[in-house]
Amino acid sequence: MLPKIANFNAPKSKYSMNAFSRSWMITKLSFSVINKDRELLWFAVLSFIFSALFSVAMIFPSVIPTLMADDFTSDSVQLFQYVIIFLTYFGLAFIATFFNVCVVHTTKVRFEGGNATFGQSIRFALSKLNLIFQWSLLSATVGLVLRILQNLASNFGKVGQVVANILIGLVGMAWSIVSIFVVPVLVYEGLGPIDAVKKSTQIIKKTWGESLIKSIGLGLVQFFVFVLIILASGALTFVLASSFDVVGSLIGISVGVLLLLLTGLIFMVASTVFNTALYVYANNNLVASGFNEDVMRGAFKQK
């Protein structure tokens, strides 16, 4: 069972950490969960593979107006492009959400003292297909609206376009923030997309204080790892290029890109794990197994 926490505003432990020390601790604790459930990484890998395949599959329909230029007017071309954009956004959102549901479900079971298998998490996600479909529709719609607004901004002149793009970017960032807990809400409570966004927004308001430091902290650790990989792969590329010319350069670059990709996937899973732990703490006053009270309390704003 998870330990019950009396309230979020209890006095700080004398061992409380500052924000960035806590962020490093969050990174380590999240990785410890991944180490116990390594299938979490497979969900991220599968999400990437299916997303890549889907993106490639959408290339052909996107060039149909070019191949059949005589059969399309400018207005019909634009409409067709928006349809393709919507379908692309929907497909990518569906794939990402499906495998994120698998990650959150596996994490949820681990937090509760269990050990979900790869197949059990896949079956759970399949049981939520209706909600995943609904959320993907909403996500794709928001993405399309932002894209349309961005295209319309080109009519405002250079200064107007810059201002409009900044505002649109802020709206997109706000949407990303308020929807950050949507998947945990979907997994734990089975709410529809609108209610899930409302619930996610409530948790964001509760955790608005230092919770954003979490993203910075994970990002800083990831940045330093990226730098090390770039330096190491650069040195490897130099050595291989000296011995094998172009082939050696391609091998070194390929190794570096692969390592960067895998690192990005691992940190993406780590972020999802912590978001799930944060959701559990905010919604149920519980510290998830593997985390500790000081770390979780520090993610909440002080009142």
Q: The tokens of 122 are what? A: 């896949």
Are the beta carbons of 218 and 28 closer than 8 angstroms? no
Quickly list DSSP for 228-286.
HHHHHHHHHHHHHHHHHHHHHHHHHHHHHHHHHHHHHHHHHHHHHHHHHHHHHHHHHSB
pLDDT tens-digit profile of 106-132? 999 988 888 899 999 999 999 999 999
Confidence (pLDDT) at 60: 80
pTM given for the model: 0.80
pLDDT computed for residue 33 by the predictor: 86
pLDDT at 274: 85
- Of 91-100, 166-175, 293-302, least confident by mean pLDDT is 293-302
Write the CA distances from 79 to 83, 85, 154, 161, integer angstroms.
6, 10, 17, 22
- Tell me: pLDDT of 301 over 60: no
The answer to whether 302 and 296 are in contact (CB under 8 A) is no
Copy the structure tokens of residue 243: 């011995």
Question: What's the one-letter identity of residue 154?
Answer: S
Residue 75 predicted with pLDDT over 80: no
How far apart are alpha carbons 220 and 34 in whole angstroms? 19
Q: What is the pLDDT of residue 15?
A: 38
Mean per-residue pLDDT, 81-110 = 93
Distance of alpha carbon 261 from the chain centroid: 14
Of 25-34, 43-52, 171-180, the least confident: 25-34
Q: Tell me: the pLDDT tens digits for 205-219?
A: 776 544 455 555 577
* Domains of the chain by residue range: 19-297
